[in-house]
């Protein structure tokens, strides 16, 4: 193949929608191209071998914060083996502040922005072919492309849609990433979406037939990349109704949901959906009003809390809620307060993430005033601030990791709540477990379910003084009854709600 689109995903089950958007808009070059996706476990040598097996003239990489290093190493091998191959890069990790990056020095071209409008012309030029022209256009340019190619936002009413690019294997075994809108109405300074202007919607009459085709082919897990799916209630309602009317067994929609926005029309649709049909991800980030204002993120804390409680109580919804540690001015105590307030609302999962300084994000304006110190390597996570020390952030990192493997994965729905039962603060109670676990093991990974269960049992009996027989029975119940998928989500939902009562 002359043209290879490639990237490294976090895991095999993920699919790269960006590559499919680009290939769908290759026009007459489409059949001379192929998509090759890898996951981050694959070595650069192995990836380069697979890419070179297609004897490409152009390799285009989609680059994100999690794959920058492995793509750079892969591209370096390609250039060493076949220096004539043209390397084209794009994606959020290389679209801002790219001038001095190593991957920029290695690549032949960078496409900034949504590449659908320029991808065919770029590839035609690199292949030495005349570009397609409208009548009256000047003679085609045969000179070199600029190093940096700025692409205009795609017209979502006419751009070729990417869904036919999903293979049968994708449909059968992987998450199908889809979109019904682009952009974000908010200006949160830690997010690159704050640099965009407004929200653009794909007309429903364009996407519904494509979604229907994916459903008929067996697609069941649809992950929308819309930044705020519910920001336009009428549009969101139309999409939800379409999938409910065309629902199949095992179908699930994953949506990013703005927690302040729950109009009655959407609440009614969610309440009528079947159990386990929706996985909603709500970005709370902080309940600290001063911090929220500082980063230009509007916050009506009481409304957010009320809406999360409503969503968490719906059988149709598996609710994942996000907090960010390390925002400018945030303290250890205020993070603890936000966590406790969010936990009391009853979400199924809480992800306590660490602030990352994405290239080009406006959050950089706070660096001096708030003593923001970031890791210079991906994922550019904050190391300390003037109000949050490095040791405190390390404790929070471990807390977040142990919360994931103890609570979020649903493996210990009966045992985990014992950690904070009758304790004044869930955060403080779990931090005690986190500190104890790290002191005992000096590790944050590599725990088998059995080993973690025995450590939980030891902590609850030795440190909390709980009855050994009761704890042992609870642990065994969790180990023997753990299930995955929607049933596991339902059981975890009920367990979490029981723990709140």
Positive or negative torsion for Cα 379, 289, 405, 316: negative
| Mean pLDDT, residues 286-300 | 96
The answer to which of 194-208, 408-422, 474-488 has the lowest mean pLDDT is 474-488
- pLDDT tens string 4-31: 999 999 999 999 999 999 999 999 999 9
* Structural tokens at position 483: 């299930």
Phi then psi for residue 181, to 5 deg, are -160, 160
Inform me whether the pLDDT recorded for 319 exceeds 80. Answer: yes
Q: What is the pLDDT of residue 482?
A: 59
Q: What is the pLDDT of residue 46?
A: 98
Q: What is the pLDDT of residue 51?
A: 98
β-strands 148-150, 278-285: how paired? unpaired
Inform me whether the pLDDT recorded for 381 exceeds 60. Answer: yes
- What's the CA gap between 265 and 237, in Å, rounded? 7
264: region left, alpha or beta (phi > 0 left; psi from -120 to 50 alpha): alpha
Q: Over pLDDT 70: what percentage of the chain?
A: 93
The overall average pLDDT reported for the chain is: 93
Q: Which CATH class is domain 166-388?
A: alpha beta
Q: What is the pLDDT of residue 356?
A: 97
| Mean pLDDT, residues 365-377 | 97
Closest CA to 276 of 299, 249, 236, 237: 249
| Mean pLDDT, residues 317-323 | 98
| Mean pLDDT, residues 312-336 | 98
Q: What is the pLDDT of residue 478?
A: 95
- pLDDT tens string 331-363: 999 999 999 999 999 999 999 999 999 999 999
CATH number belonging to domain 3-134+143-150: 3.40.50.280
Q: What is the pLDDT of residue 121?
A: 96
Q: What is the pLDDT of residue 144?
A: 73
Inform me whether the pLDDT recorded for 137 exceeds 50. Answer: no
| Mean pLDDT, residues 469-489 | 74
pLDDT tier at 135 (50, 70, 90 boundaries)? very low
Q: What is the pLDDT of residue 130?
A: 60
Residue that has been written with the tokens 């793509």 in this structure:
71
- What's the CA gap between 354 and 389, in Å, rounded? 13
- pLDDT tens string 211-261: 999 999 999 999 999 999 999 999 999 999 999 999 999 999 999 999 999
């Amino acid at each position: 193949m002359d043209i290879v689109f490639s990237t490294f995903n976090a895991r095999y089950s993920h699919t790269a929608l960006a590559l499919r958007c680009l290939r769908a808009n290759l026009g007459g070059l489409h059949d001379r191209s192929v998509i090759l996706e890898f996951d981050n476990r694959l070595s650069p040598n192995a990836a380069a071998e697979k890419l070179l097996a297609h004897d490409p003239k152009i390799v285009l990489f989609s680059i994100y914060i999690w794959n920058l290093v492995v793509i750079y190493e892969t591209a370096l091998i390609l250039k060493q083996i076949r220096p004539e191959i043209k390397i084209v890069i794009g994606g959020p990790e290389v679209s801002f502040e790219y001038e001095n990056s190593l991957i920029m020095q290695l690549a032949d071209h960078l496409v900034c922005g949504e590449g659908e409008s320029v991808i065919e012309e770029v590839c035609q030029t690199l292949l030495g072919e005349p570009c397609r022209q409208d009548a009256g256009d000047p003679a085609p340019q045969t000179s070199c492309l600029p190093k940096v190619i700025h692409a205009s936002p795609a017209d979502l009413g006419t751009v070729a849609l990417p869904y036919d690019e999903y293979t049968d294997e994708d449909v059968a075994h992987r998450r199908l990433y889809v979109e019904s809108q682009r952009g974000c109405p908010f200006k949160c300074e830690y997010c690159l979406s704050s640099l965009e202007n407004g929200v653009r919607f794909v007309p429903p009459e364009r996407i519904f037939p494509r979604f229907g085709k994916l459903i008929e082919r067996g697609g069941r897990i649809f992950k929308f990349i819309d930044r705020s799916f519910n920001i336009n209630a009428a549009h969101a309602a139309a999409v939800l109704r379409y999938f409910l009317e065309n629902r199949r067994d095992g179908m699930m929609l994953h949506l990013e949901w703005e927690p302040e926005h729950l109009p009655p029309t959407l609440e009614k649709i969610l309440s009528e959906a079947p159990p386990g049909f929706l996985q909603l991800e709500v970005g709370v980030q902080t309940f600290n009003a001063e911090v929220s204002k500082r980063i230009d993120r509007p916050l009506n804390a009481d409304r957010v809390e009320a809406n999360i409680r409503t969503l968490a109580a719906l059988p149709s919804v598996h609710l994942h809620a996000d907090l960010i540690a390390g925002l400018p001015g945030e303290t250890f105590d205020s993070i603890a307060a936000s966590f406790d307030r969010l936990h009391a609302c009853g979400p199924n999962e809480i992800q306590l993430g660490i602030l990352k300084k994405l290239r080009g994000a406006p959050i950089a304006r706070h660096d001096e005033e708030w003593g923001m110190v970031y890791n210079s390597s991906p994922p550019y996570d904050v190391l300390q601030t003037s109000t949050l020390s490095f040791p405190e952030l390390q404790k929070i990192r471990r807390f977040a990791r142990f919360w994931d493997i103890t609570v979020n994965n649903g493996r210990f729905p009966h045992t985990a709540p014992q950690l904070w039962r009758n304790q004044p603060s869930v955060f403080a109670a779990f931090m005690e477990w986190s500190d104890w676990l790290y002191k005992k093991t000096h590790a944050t990974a590599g725990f088998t379910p059995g080993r973690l269960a025995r450590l939980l049992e030891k902590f609850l009996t030795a440190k909390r003084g709980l009855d050994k027989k009761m704890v042992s029975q609870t642990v065994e119940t969790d180990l023997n009854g753990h299930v995955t998928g929607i049933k596991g989500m339902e059981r975890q939902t009920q367990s979490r709600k029981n723990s709140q009562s």
